[in-house]
Amino acid sequence: MRVTQPLTPVERDRALHRLRRLSVGAGIGSLIAVGGLSVVAATSYSGKVSTAAVAVSTGPTTAQSASATAGQSAATTATAAPTAAPTAAPVVTSGGS
């Protein structure tokens, strides 16, 4: 059986310093890795909604067209405000399981 010598105080201090450096280095490395993965995730999923789901009607309404063709004055007729076309709620998809 082999008997090992106990470490001297200087050797123990060097070993603790080396362990501390490795621990701090691993912590900093993991923070950099998390930051890098965050950037990759943010750029790969923009979160934009497709333009087909947000179409809005800006043309004249039926009431406005009818009053214009009947020859009535715009000052004396009540016109309806432009209405927005009904839109479907945006669909969010994920790559989860």
Per-domain residue ranges of the chain: 8-46
Q: pLDDT value at position 30? A: 98
Give the closest residue to 59 by CA, choosing from 82, 78, 79: 82
pTM of the model: 0.42
Rounded CA-CA distance 83/64 in Å is 12
SS3 state of residue 39: helix
CA 18, CA 16: separation in Å to the nearest integer? 5
pLDDT tens, N- to C-terminus, the chain (97 residues): 788 889 999 999 999 999 999 999 999 999 999 999 999 998 888 776 666 555 555 555 555 555 555 555 444 556 666 666 666 766 667 666 5
